[in-house]
Amino acid sequence: MAIVTLLTDFGVSDTYVGQMKAAVLAIAPTATLVDLTHAVPPQDIRAGSFLLWSAIEPFPSGSVHLAVVDPGVGSSRLAVAARAARGDYFVGPDNGLLVPALERLGGCSQAVALSNPQYWRARRSLTFHGRDIFAPVAAHLVNGVDIASLGEPTTLRRPFELAFADGPHGEVIHVDAFGNLITNLSAERLPERFGVLVGGRRVRFVPFYAAGDKNELVALVGSSGLLEIGARDGSAAAVTGLSRGAQVEVVPG
């Protein structure tokens, strides 16, 4: 089964996502298309990179991950395809979006700039590389085209880091749709017993949301393996007024 995942900031009010899917299916009609999300905040590359990082591990090796958060479309930024050490392929803009996910799958083993128009859509727009370059390339990878045929070798840019904290101090890196504050503190680095300081409050650690009292702020390890702050039956973001970049500290106890 050939899988193509899609992650964009296009939303679902317009037809952009449907047009990208059409471009994939025109070349690889048997591909299985999986929507990761199309609700990345507009032009927010950091948010897109985290969401892509959080989503790709469950997919089988060899999946093709098509990601487009591309405020630089039409500019000198490169369009790229990359292969992860695990065997997955990533297609998208060279603006840092793909790098954390590649590293989660063992690192980048090969990357090319998409300079060969043979694998693009015949009619192209300067403003919609998602449909006209990235989607066709993803489809050709599904069909078994060698990544080396797509263009010249390149090294991916790292304009920012999706950094995970080594010590007790971290920060909120994402607020999900439930208002949970997801931090960059990894579960394996947490002590056996601890509390969390966030927004001037001490928050106790619980194993799951329902272990807290109604509307209580709680700390727990979420599905991504990262420490997060939640509010039982509520929104931690609304309760605390905090958002991405808020400081978090793990304390003994």
Q: How far apart are CA 21 and CA 25, in angstroms?
A: 6
How many residues would you count in the chain? 253
Q: Does one domain contain both 181 and 117?
A: no
- 144, 95: one domain: yes
Q: How far apart are CA 227 and CA 221, in angstroms?
A: 4
135 and 180 inside one domain = no
- 3-state secondary structure (DSSP) of residue 216: coil
Q: Note the pTM of the prediction, 2 decimals.
A: 0.91
The kind and range of the H/E element at 248 are strand 247-252
**Exposed, middle or buried by CB within 10 Å (0-12, 13-18, 19+), for 199?**
middle
Instruction: Count the domains in the chain.
Output: 2
| Domain, as residue range, for 192 | 169-252
In a domain, 178, yes or no: yes
Q: What is the pLDDT of residue 187?
A: 87
CB burial class (10 A; 0-12, 13-18, 19+) of residue 60? exposed
Q: What was the pLDDT predicted at 106?
A: 96
Per the domain annotation, does 164 fall within a domain?
no
The answer to whether residue 155 sits within a structural domain is no
Both 178 and 125 in a single domain?
Answer: no
pLDDT tens, residue order, the chain (253 aa): 699 999 999 999 999 999 999 999 999 999 999 999 999 999 999 999 999 999 999 999 999 999 999 999 989 999 999 999 999 999 999 999 999 999 999 999 999 999 999 999 999 899 999 999 999 999 999 999 999 999 999 999 998 877 788 779 999 999 999 999 999 999 888 888 888 999 999 999 999 888 888 889 999 999 999 999 999 999 999 999 999 999 999 998 7
Q: Is the residue at 157 inside a domain?
A: no
Those residues whose C-beta lies under 8 Å from the C-beta of residue 41, and which sit 6 or more positions away, are: 9, 47
Q: Are 91 and 137 in contact (CB under 8 A)?
A: yes
* Residue 166 pLDDT: 76
Per-residue model confidence (pLDDT) at position 71: 95
Report the chain's C-alpha Rg in angstroms: 20
* 9 and 120 housed in the same domain: yes
Q: What is the pLDDT of residue 239?
A: 92
| Same domain? 97 vs 205 | no
Same domain, 197 and 101: no
